[in-house]
Structure 1
Amino acid sequence: MAAKRLVRVLCADPLSEKRDWEAALSENATEDGTTLLVRYGNESDTTLRGPLFSTLSVPSHLLQRLNIELLITTLNIGAGAIRESAEDVRDAILVPSLQTPISSTGRTGFVTYPVHRALVYGEGVEACVAYGQLAPLLEQAAPQEGEEGMIKTALSLPGQTANELSRESGAANVRFAIVDESLASKAIGTLRASSSNSSSFSHLWQASGVSDIVDWLTASSKGNTPLESISRSGQPHLKPAIHDLITSLLSSISASISAEQTRRTSQLVNSAIPETTRHDLQQSITNWSAAAHSDLRVSLDAAFASPTWRRTSWWRLLWRVDDVGMAASDVLIRHFLFDAERGMIYLTGHLSALGFLKGRGGSTELNPITTQSTYGNHPSTSSVAQGSASATGFDPISLSETLGHSELKARITASSGIDVSSPRPWLLGIQYARARLLYTFVPSLQARAQTLLLQCLSTTAVTSALAGWTYVALTGVGVYEAGAVAALGLVWSLRRLQRKWEDARSVFEGDVREEGRMVLRDLESGLREIVETGERHELAEEDVKAWEAARRSVEGVRAELEKLKQGVT
């Protein structure tokens, strides 16, 4: 393995004889691809073989001085590295995976082994071709803060000196080096042959380019010695390799946080309803609202001009007072917003098909505005509608109270066969409004008609009795005078009946129209709110808080790292 030979020349002592440990790293060693950890120690120490890697102790001054260990392993990147991402390449280099057996069946697993810095070394023309594919990704693999010097590449080409190639390619930098291991090995052999060959050793050693690797290792290990580890202020220095590793981890964490937030945001945006669709739906709601208001006006005008409603004229109350409730119910059942309700059901179905009504299964959830409105107390209710309670003698109740009144719901279900509290897949505002008018205002109107008729008959009877008493009790009062008193009472009571009843009918008509306008306005507002806010899928508040807390933690670690780097506590 070429990397073992490079490690041999890095760790060898040219002033001493060749040691036995060099044979383990020489070109004649078995190249079985086994991961090897080289560390400082006595040569007599036994080589350890573990499930992940073998350990070789080397009495190298370089390892002792820099206080480092060297892990020799293969680069686990596929043949199509050009298709790999920059993050995958960086992780494969800085966090190599070591193979280990996990069962007696021959299966193997992988254990990650993070390192502080990595040297990617290749030998020969094939290595240069592979590096040509890997170079663009290597340029992107360490763009983050602290990773500029963590990955270095070295190539060895036979027959070329490092200085020549560096001058030709301009590649002499902190991340790339040209190395000729054979020249370095020849330089060591020359000096070992005779100490007088020091000049030749120096020339060959510099030409080999191995000194660039040594300088890179030295720069990454400053602060390892006792004298270098203490700053002028008496505080410990942080090793550059450790500082770069921590900085790289912090940068990677920050990038991961931003990437996750971007991914979640993009996912939510892609799953949301397009704005063009929302605009089309808003236009459909506008068209429906215009048609519904027109239907309300035309239908009620026709209903209140129909023969059925004319049967409730004041002069017909004397023999048709019991038909008032039936006539008012017929007006509401046949003419109150039926075309608008059908259009609203179609529009709601369109919204449901697009997913706007997900999670709105109940009737109350589909009518957040209408079910909470109290008729007669609504801010936009007209003065005519507000006078309905006094005019009809009945205090209107809200829809929420209507739905909560079990006896009233039972009456509605028994009469119409419709359970107004059961869930429906559409908005039920019109149905609620019709039910409220039928079972609150219609009985009130019926009671008002009977009350006024009773008052009229009572007044007529009292004035007639007064006329008879006047005729009998008072001398000189004739039949004509007594009849005038009775006629006056009759005319006054009938006039009062006409005026009061016509006012009650007008108030009822105004209440029905106002109720229709209110329910259409509330439905339009509710539909627009659903279209505007529905299916927006905003980020969860707890996720945003978690990301912000993670960023604050990263910034706090950066600040402490900077203080430690400068020797400040």
Structure 2
Amino acid sequence: MPPWVASVPRAIACSRAKAIDRVAASFRCRRAVHPLRTRSASTYVSPTAINYRPNVPPRNQELYNALSGLNGAAEQYANLGRLQLALRGLAVENAVTRVAVLGLNSQVGAQRLAKLLVADPLADKAGWERELEKSPEEGAVLLRFGDENDAHAPSPLYKILSVPSRVLGTNNLEILVSTLNVNAPSSAAASATESSRDAVLVPKLQATSARGTPVPYPVHKTLVLGEGLDSAITYGQFASDFTEEAGSMVKVAIELPAPSTAPEAAEDSASSVPINTVIGTKGLDAFRTSVANSITYERNWFASGLPTLSKWLVSDLQPADPIKPTQKALISSLLDDVEATITKEDAQQLQLLASTTTPEQLNAEMIKNLEEWAEKSHRELRDSLDEAFAGKNWRKLGWWKLFWRVDDVSMITEEIIARRWLVSAESDAVYLAGRMKQAGFPDEVRSLPGYAEADTYVKAPADASGHDVSIIENHATALSTVVNPPTPWPALLSSTRTTLLATTLPPLQALAQRLILTTLSTTSLSAALSALLYVSVSTVSVFEASSLAALGLTFSLKRMQKVWEDAREAWKVEVREEGRQALKRTEGFVRNIINGRGPGAVVEDEGVEERKKAREAVAKVREALLKMSKE
């Protein structure tokens, strides 16, 4: 081999080093003359601005108006953060592009990766790089183009670093460095309005005080960094619902050990890239040490897998006519999300309508439940009262026991009504009323046909003297001025029980006391007449005079027995009849409600108009976007 052939690689390396030196010198000269590039104004609008109207470029006006209409028509179906980001991008000529670098459960690796992507190998290590190498104690970090000495207003959400990087300045780019928590349960991370896609493309930033709700920060593209295969598997489970739909908006970089051989360059369309930031950092440090280490830098840089990420970072960011590809991708993705949400809600409503019982079936089911309740309640009324009237307490009210049980009449009868009179029927009525209300039936009784409210018991208020006056309205003959308000039908049994206690117990108690007094008076009078007869008539013997007292005693006891037993039987009949009437009245009310006041023949979908308007707004945006692309 000729000696000049062996010296070719060395000559090439030397010429490459000299060329790099010339480029470095030229760049340093330009940077000395122009220390700070002119960058576009921020698209952020203060939330305190009053009646803010952006000066939208004429070519973006139609699309901006269509997106504004989508903000009003599909507000509940769209991610408002991403929608506002799209509107701000259309409001200026060259909008800032936001890219997020999110570390899986850790921000250290994300900061190291962001530094390698925007660092200038021709410049010495800057102060902002040292800040990124520190542990993330202050939360998220925002990298903006500018001089390191630029002053920024403090933000409770992130720390701002000015970076004099050509990558940021040329592409009008901002990079947010934060974390992505993928260990939360899917039910908490993905809900009806927030999915794992939103968690990646709209990172949540926590304020420095660690209080309050996390603030969303929407971005155009996201680079997710994981360490090891375990993190890749975890992220795959977390983002399984949008991995195929993310496209170029989301890139996954997995930190893996350096391969033994030179790896093949990953395809630009690949959704994940293996990288090694340690090798990339070594190559960068070697090149900064000496330009003669350019070959080592180039070898390490390609071995680290970072060229693929660098190319992805600046792809589709160049100003284009009419809008940047990243802005167009954001709007298209936003429209796809809105349509997917509307379609999902349509499917849920169709499933709900398909599983909804028809009014005829619902009425038949409620009638069957009502009949079962009525049958069970009538059986309870019969059995419970039979058991109560055959019990020990009721036998205590025998006529001959009234002399020492007269004060227990109210207590015993009240206990029978309170504990034996339709107790289970009342609780079952409440349960039936709950089922009817859930099915859409009304829960109030208002002048139902066939049942006059004048036949129901009403408790009048206390009169002027303070006494409680209880009355019974009896058809049109009642003169009471009491207004009977609409009564929920499950309370009819309770109100009837209250009326029974107020109207039947006092008369029965008074009758018992009156019978005792009458019996004692009649017996005492006959005894007095017998004694007077014996004293005044000498021919009358004691036996003959005592017969008169015995006659009076027998008459009074016989009358007491007959009146009291008749009153007890009448009270038993009245209690049974009132229970039967209450059950019949309640059953009639419910049957009238079911037959005449059902939930309606058709179950309407209240959100159909809203979804229709949302679809129309999406169609307008797509039409405006297509029209702008053809211009």
Q: Output the TM-score relative to the length of structure 2.
A: 0.45
Q: Output the TM-score relative to the length of structure 1.
A: 0.49
Which is greater in Rg?
1
